[in-house]
Amino acid sequence: MAEPARRLQPIDTTAEIETPEHVRFHYPIAGPARRVVAWVLDWLVRAAILLVFAIFALMGGFAVGDAVAELSAGLLLVIHFLLEWLYYTLWEIAWNGRTPGKRALDLRVVSVHGHPLRVGDSFLRNLLRAADFLPLGYAIGLVVMARDSRFRRLGDMVAGTMVVVEERRAVASTLRIDPPPTPKELSSLPQRLPLSGDELEAIELFLRRKEGLGPAREEELAAMVAPIFASRLGIRNKDSARLLALLHARASERRRPL
């Protein structure tokens, strides 16, 4: 396995994928908690399937007699076997790396390079559940996961797979300054702002995050930088957050005619 060369990257639970078209994107990797919930859901589905068959078998046994009861006992054992060893693989092949539980939690199994899951690898990673499960309740699997940067259990390591999160996200909304800047407020600012691109970007990021911050935190963050900008511009700083909004408005105003 050719591991991509290690570069200096922020410590984060994402995996960078480079596709054959040289597109790079990042997958968030699924942690143990999410995967345990998905496993529980799948367990419930399996139990429900077995229960339905068991009820049918029981009714058949009562209605017809011992021969049918034994026949259906054999059938039940075969179904139990299939659910134990093939349930995951069958779903993962049919649904491109997802089982019902994984689908409900927006999880998907992909190869460590981001390629789709292959049949043999799916079979391998699910057989290895027998080792991950030991001594009970996936104890070894959880310990191995906790030590791996991609949260892989033993089965994932053998099969070269990882589990990623594919939760849908909303597109970023447009930035609105409320109330809109008045000409009087803007006139106090110079036409050319003595601010670097990085600083303008930081201001924009702050304004986009503002909705999710409490008023106190908003003021606290704004007060960290606004006085610096104010003294650079040579103006008085009355309202830190408002000043940042005005700076952003002036910067985008200048950018627009381009």
Partner 1 sequence: MKSQDEIVAARNADWRELENLISRAEALHHLDGPSISRAAALYRALSGDLVLCRARCTPDLVAYLDNLAGRAHSALYGAEPFRIPAFWSLLTRDFPRALRKNASFFALSSALFLIPCAIGIVLALFVPDAASQILPRSMLDGMADMYSKGFDEGRGEGADSAMAGFYVNNNVGIAFRCFATGIFYGLGSVVYLIYNGLNIGMVTGWVTAAGFGGNIGTFMCGHGPFELTAILIAGAAGLRMGHSLVVTHGRTRLGSLRESAPDIVRLVVGAAVMLLIAAGIEGFWSPSAAPPPVKWAVAALFSLLVTAYFLFAGRERGRAR
CB of 76 to partner 1, least distance (A): 7
Residue span binding partner 1 (CB under 8 A) among the ranges 42-50, 185-193, 203-211, 215-223: 203-211
Rounded alpha-carbon distances, angstroms, from residue 58 to 46, 63, 135: 18, 9, 33
Indicate which single residue of 38, 105, 107, 117 sits in contact with partner 1 (rule: CB under 8 A).
Answer: 117
* Residues in 13-32 at the binding interface with partner 1, rule: CB under 8 A: 17, 19, 21, 23-27
If the CB atoms of residues 41 and 93 are measured against partner 1, the closer one turns out to be: 93
Interface with partner 1, residue 96, by CB under 8 A = yes
Interface with partner 1, residue 3, by CB under 8 A = yes
Residue span binding partner 1 (CB under 8 A) among the ranges 125-133, 213-221, 222-230, 233-241: 125-133
* Residues in 39-58 at the binding interface with partner 1, rule: CB under 8 A: none
Compute how many residues bind partner 1; rule: CB under 8 A: 73
Interface with partner 1, residue 102, by CB under 8 A = no
What is the length of the chain? 258
Indicate which single residue of 5, 63, 136, 172 sits in contact with partner 1 (rule: CB under 8 A).
Answer: 172
CB of 111 to partner 1, least distance (A): 10
Indicate which single residue of 114, 199, 225, 242 sits in contact with partner 1 (rule: CB under 8 A).
Answer: 114
Interface with partner 1, residue 204, by CB under 8 A = yes
> What does 194-255 look like in DSSP terms, one character per residue?
---HHHHHHHHHHHHHGGGS-HHHHHHHHHHHHHHHHHHHT---S-HHHHHHHHHHHHHHHH
Interface with partner 1, residue 184, by CB under 8 A = no
How far from each other are the two terminal CA atoms of the chain, in whole angstroms? 48
Interface with partner 1, residue 170, by CB under 8 A = yes
User: Hey, which residues does 15 pair with through a beta bridge?
Assistant: 27
Interface with partner 1, residue 69, by CB under 8 A = yes
Interface with partner 1, residue 211, by CB under 8 A = no
Residue 85 tokens, joined: 């060893």
Contact of 155 with 163, CB cutoff 8 Å: no
Interface with partner 1, residue 97, by CB under 8 A = yes
If the CB atoms of residues 48 and 78 are measured against partner 1, the closer one turns out to be: 78
Interface with partner 1, residue 175, by CB under 8 A = yes
Residue span binding partner 1 (CB under 8 A) among the ranges 35-43, 46-54, 164-172, 222-230: 164-172
Contact of 127 with 89, CB cutoff 8 Å: no
Contact of 27 with 17, CB cutoff 8 Å: yes
Residue 57 tokens, joined: 């078998």
User: Hey, which residues does 17 pair with through a beta bridge?
Assistant: 25
Rounded alpha-carbon distances, angstroms, from residue 65 to 51, 87, 94, 240: 20, 31, 38, 84
Contact of 174 with 135, CB cutoff 8 Å: no
